[in-house]
Structure 1
């Protein structure tokens, strides 16, 4: 099986069966993002532990397979990470998708599946939607946004 096919399968699996979809009771951070180009919308809710790591994270939204899959992959990748680690991962994903130097083999779990989106510039915004929302939620240090 070719690498492109593996990537495509991971995206389709997460789009059809999104992980961590729904509301998060007791969340202490949230952020929403909308892709004005296509209408995709994501709302992330998360809860930080007293030590500052992402204890729980979920998302709601409507959109294309890429935005849903990306949000699903995001929730799996950042759970247990510190806010700083999660923000660094956000920056790495943005570099990966916008042509910067972020090798896909340096990404945890199935996140490398997002690399295939680079070939479709009009879909990059879809893939980055949840990552922008996460970055916004984490920048709201000390504020509750539920």
Structure 2
């Protein structure tokens, strides 16, 4: 079965982010760092955030994973830089719903990450797509706990997306 032009474009965007990930590397002065892995396929990500008060000033990731995991981390860092912690958490929640096919894609919010809505058709790949976003959520929750801010618990704690 041939891919439609739109599916081909989406595939190209994912492969481009996977081959040439944005914000890949390490931050010398990270305020938060978290490492997560996906034991079902071996993906490992280390996410680092540099904060300016409540704003995510920089976000970088390193590690290794499949093309979906790497592309998702690249897209996630692009979207959250410059956002507040609350905005980033809302984007993570929107992404979790998107890849479970529970909402329509909204490019205005999620940017190129909307192309990952197709993983909803492949439940085993949802964990790959959400790994970086889960790391983002946990890093922000960790930052809030360290600063004694309210709502310092993950709404997805214990869940495997």
- Gap runs ≥5 in structure 1: none
- Gap runs ≥5 in structure 2: 148-161
**Equivalent position of 1:103 in the other structure:** 104
Deviation of 1:36 after TM superposition, in Å, equals 1.0
Deviations 1:115-137 (A, max 9, x none): 12112111110000000000000
Q: Is the 8 A contact 2:101 2:117 kept in 1?
A: no
Which structure is larger by alpha-carbon Rg, 1 or 2?
A: 2
Aligned residues: 142
Task: Return the alpha-carbon distance in structure 2 between the equivalents of residues 15 and 23 of structure 1.
Answer: 17
**Equivalent position of 1:47 in the other structure:** 50
Structure with more contact order per residue of length (Cα contacts < 8 Å, sep ≥ 6): 1
**Equivalent position of 1:120 in the other structure:** 122
TM-score (norm 1): 0.92
Deviation of 1:142 after TM superposition, in Å, equals 5.3
